[in-house]
Structure 1
Amino acid sequence: MPRTYKRKLGARKYKDYSTENVETALTKIVDEGWSLRRAAAHYKIPFGTLNNKYYSRYTKKNGGQKVFSDNAERSFLNAACICGDWGFPLTITDLRLLAKNYLNEKGRNVGRFIDNVPGVKWAYSLLNRHKDEVSQKVAANIKRARANVSRETVNKYFDHLRETLKDVPVGNVIILNLLYLL
């Protein structure tokens, strides 16, 4: 599983301001001529942070940067979903090899990946970044003949079962008791 940072108790607080406040402060600076110090004090944003935002410094996120763009990550996940719809769900290893093939096609060599294959933590981090769109589930292996059963076939089975069991007491049928419990 990917590492998740947990801040220690009493550690320095970061980003105790909202992005809306930063945007409002920047518009006050640009449109109404407020000073950086006045806007920082009024909206309770650190002066250095507001100064960096105003001059467009340090635009990258904290921590390690992603290797793939958002579009590339979404295309990996879309390909995995399509394979799952076709009845061939991808495993974590398959997802990693898909990313390796992408890097090889682009001619990129990423130094932090061994043999250009992303690690298991990368795959779990990818799923964690897009957890609202996709999730990892264990696939149940069933034969294609069972997967192609239609609604009409199932309805016909239960209609026939109802006719067969109409004179049998319910207490004598174990399967019906299980169905009532569900």
Structure 2
Amino acid sequence: MSRTYKRRPDARLCGSNSLQNLEAALAEIKSSRINLHSTAEKYGIDKMKLSCLMNNKHQKKPGGQTVLTNEEEIALVQNLLRASSWGFPSTEYDIRLLIKCYLDQQGKKVKSFQHNLPGKDWVKSFLNHHRCVLSVRLANNNKCCHAKVSPEARLIQGT
């Protein structure tokens, strides 16, 4: 089972300001109507956050950075869906090996993975992140010849 992380009560709130407030504050500063300190007080935004936004610093998201980009994750999900539609569903271990092979081919070394192999928690989090598209199911061991139904049998069954 994947771990559930809880925010510490004393942790700082990243991204607690609305996007409209930030844009309005930046527009006021750029038009040089008000200085940085009074703009931060007016909109209730931390002045260091405004300063970083003005100077284009700290562009990454707060917290740990992801191993795969959004485009890579979307491509992986599409490939997993395509393989399952062909009759080859993937297990969690298959996904781990697929990520390891991809990282090795790209020449990426991820320090948090042993030998570039993601852990079980990483796969659980990945599946949880894409739960609207991917799901874990227990499949029966049916052979293809048993799974195929002829058109005559469909007529008899009424489907």
Distance in 2 separating the partners of 1:33 and 1:152: 79
Q: 1:130 to 1:34 in 2, by over 3 A?
A: farther
Q: 1:8 to 1:67 in 2, by over 3 A?
A: closer
Q: 1:144 to 1:36 in 2, by over 3 A?
A: same
Distance in 1 separating the partners of 2:138 and 2:68: 26
Code of the residue aligned with 1:117 in structure 2: it is L
- The offset of 1:95, in angstroms, is 0.5
**Equivalent position SS for 2:23:** helix
Greater mean alpha carbon deviation, residues 85-94 or residues 67-76: 67-76
Distance in 1 separating the partners of 2:8 and 2:32: 40
Code of the residue aligned with 1:79 in structure 2: it is N
Q: Could you report, residue by residue, the CA deviation over 1:116-174 in whole angstroms, capped at 9, with x for unpaired residues?
A: 11111111222233334433333344332343336774342249xxxxxxxxxxxxxxx
* Equivalent in the alignment of 1:131: 131
* Equivalent in the alignment of 2:104: 104
**Alignment RMSD (CA, Å):** 2.5
Q: 1:53 to 1:2 in 2, by over 3 A?
A: farther
* Equivalent in the alignment of 1:154: 154
Distance in 1 separating the partners of 2:124 and 2:137: 13
Code of the residue aligned with 1:112 in structure 2: it is S
TM-score, normalised with respect to structure 2: 0.82
Q: Looking at secondary structure, tell me which structure has more helix per residue.
A: 1
Alpha carbons 1:76, 1:95 under 8 Å: kept: no
TM-score, normalised with respect to structure 1: 0.73
* Equivalent in the alignment of 1:54: 54
* Equivalent in the alignment of 1:72: 72
More RCO (CA 8 Å, sep 6+):
2
What is the percent sequence identity of the aligned residues? 35
Distance in 1 separating the partners of 2:8 and 2:51: 28
Distance in 2 separating the partners of 1:4 and 1:22: 31
Total equivalences in the alignment: 158
Q: 1:42 to 1:144 in 2, by over 3 A?
A: same
Distance in 2 separating the partners of 1:131 and 1:32: 46
